[in-house]
Amino acid sequence: MVDILKSVMLTEAGVVHGFTTGTDFSTAAGFSALKETLQPTQPIYKMKQVHGNKVLVTSEMPPSEWTEAAELEGDAVIADTAAVAGVVTADCVPILVSCKQSGLVAAVHAGWRGLKAGIVRQTIKAMMHRGASIGGMVCAIGPCICLNCYEVSKDVADLFPESSDPIKGSKDKYLLDLALAAEVSLIGVGLSSVQIDKLEICTSCGTEALFSYRKSGGDCGRQYAFICK
């Protein structure tokens, strides 16, 4: 049984989705456990995430079923066919998007590199290209590293002036609020804050059940954020 956190907003919109906790999705075992929990009738999709801005579409990719060979590189996936679409994370921001009007859903992996590269904008634009409308969208920003736990260099902080704060007494150390940076990106493409549900759970200081790349020194599992069409 896989433990799953949910967004109130997506749940109210009737969207089957979740942010896993406690189960490691860096290997196939996690996905086998999720299949047993969800009993999905749709195929499950997984990408080879590379912190870029490439958006994949399920109708153009093979269901991965966790055979590494079938993986395609990308950091967001739009489901335009019956699918469980998802991303793996451990500190980076998982964003789930649903468009009621078109029935399209998407999962986005957004760390600072992906946000800077425009992964959020690319995803929303690609959804609109396929018939989605901004007004019909609801988004959830899942568990990620919080402002207090995410120290970054000035170079990185400078990319997100609206989402970073200098650390008092330090010249070149800053704290970055990745969830806020993701929200700013969503608002930048036209969404309103009332369409965005922030779970506000930190992968590092929030709960032991979540994997944190930073806290573990880079040696940890991954959680899976998924959304079903």
Touching Zn ion, residues 174-203 (CB under 5 A): 202
- Distance (Å, rounded) from C-alpha 142 to C-alpha 91? 10
Write the DSSP string, 134-183. Answer: GGGEEEEE-SB--GGG-EEEHHHHTT-TTTEEEPTT-SSEEEE-HHHHHH
* 53, 204, 212, 223: residue in contact with Zn ion (rule CB under 5 A): 204
Q: Provide, rounded to whole angstroms, the least separation between the CB of residue 148 and Zn ion.
A: 5
Whether the CB-CB separation of 142 and 97 falls below 8 Å is answered with: no
Q: Tell me how far CA of residue 133 lies from CA of 79, 188, 202, in angstroms.
A: 15, 15, 30
Q: Provide, rounded to whole angstroms, the least separation between the CB of residue 91 and Zn ion.
A: 10
Determine, following the binding rule CB under 5 A, whether residue 207 of this chain makes contact with Zn ion: no
Q: DSSP letter at 186? A: H
Binding marks (x or -) toward Zn ion, 117..156, rule CB under 5 A? -----------------------------x--x-------
Q: Provide, rounded to whole angstroms, the least separation between the CB of residue 178 and Zn ion.
A: 11
Touching Zn ion, residues 56-115 (CB under 5 A): none
Whether the CB-CB separation of 158 and 213 falls below 8 Å is answered with: no
- Measured from the CB atom, the residue of 76 and 202 that comes closer to Zn ion is 202
- Measured from the CB atom, the residue of 55 and 144 that comes closer to Zn ion is 144
Q: Tell me how far CA of residue 190 lies from CA of 36, 63, 67, 128, 219, in angstroms.
A: 38, 31, 37, 12, 37
Q: Provide, rounded to whole angstroms, the least separation between the CB of residue 147 and Zn ion.
A: 8
Determine, following the binding rule CB under 5 A, whether residue 212 of this chain makes contact with Zn ion: no
Q: Provide, rounded to whole angstroms, the least separation between the CB of residue 199 and Zn ion.
A: 13
Binding site for Zn ion (CB under 5 A): 146, 149, 202, 204-205
